[in-house]
């Protein structure tokens, strides 16, 4: 599984959300806008399979260190990247009990 990351700097306030993970192999894509619009509103939330969890954990260890892995919460959200609409569904990774100014975005590709 190929992993791409981008670091996002927060300038206003710290948050326990340390990563957003995007992986949607069954998404129709922008070549069919109507199908993509329908998919965003009707797809079932995917399970976090071991390959995805391993890729998330390896990326977080590489970026933040081992001390963040002990209390991670991973949950799926249709509004992961955009709170207004379900345009960018994905997994939100939070470090319970910790706040940080750093956040990374992770794109997983087959």
Alpha-carbon distance 82 to 5, whole Å? 18
What is the model's pLDDT at position 12? 66
86 burial class (0-12, 13-18, 19+ CB within 10 angstroms)?
A: middle
- Domains identified in the chain, total number: 1
With a cut of 50, list the residues of the chain below it in pLDDT: none
pTM, entire model: 0.75
pLDDT for position 28: 73
Burial bucket for residue 8 (CB in 10 Å: 0-12, 13-18, 19+): exposed
> pLDDT for 26-39, tens place per residue?
777 767 888 888 87
What is the rounded CA–CA span in Å between residue 92 and residue 81? 9
| pLDDT tens digits, one per residue of 97-107 | 777 767 888 88
Tell me the residue range of the domain where 101 lies. 2-109
């Amino acid at each position: 599984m190929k992993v791409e990351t981008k670091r996002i700097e927060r300038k206003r306030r710290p948050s326990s959300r340390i990563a957003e993970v995007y992986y949607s192999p069954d998404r129709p894509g922008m070549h069919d806008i109507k199908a993509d619009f329908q998919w965003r509103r009707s797809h079932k939330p995917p399970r976090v399979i071991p390959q995805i969890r391993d890729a998330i954990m390896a990326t977080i260890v590489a970026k933040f260190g081992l001390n963040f892995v002990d209390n991670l919460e991973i949950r799926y959200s249709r509004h992961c990247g955009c709170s207004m609409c379900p345009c960018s569904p994905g997994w939100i990774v939070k470090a319970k009990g910790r706040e940080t100014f750093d956040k990374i975005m992770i794109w997983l590709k087959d």
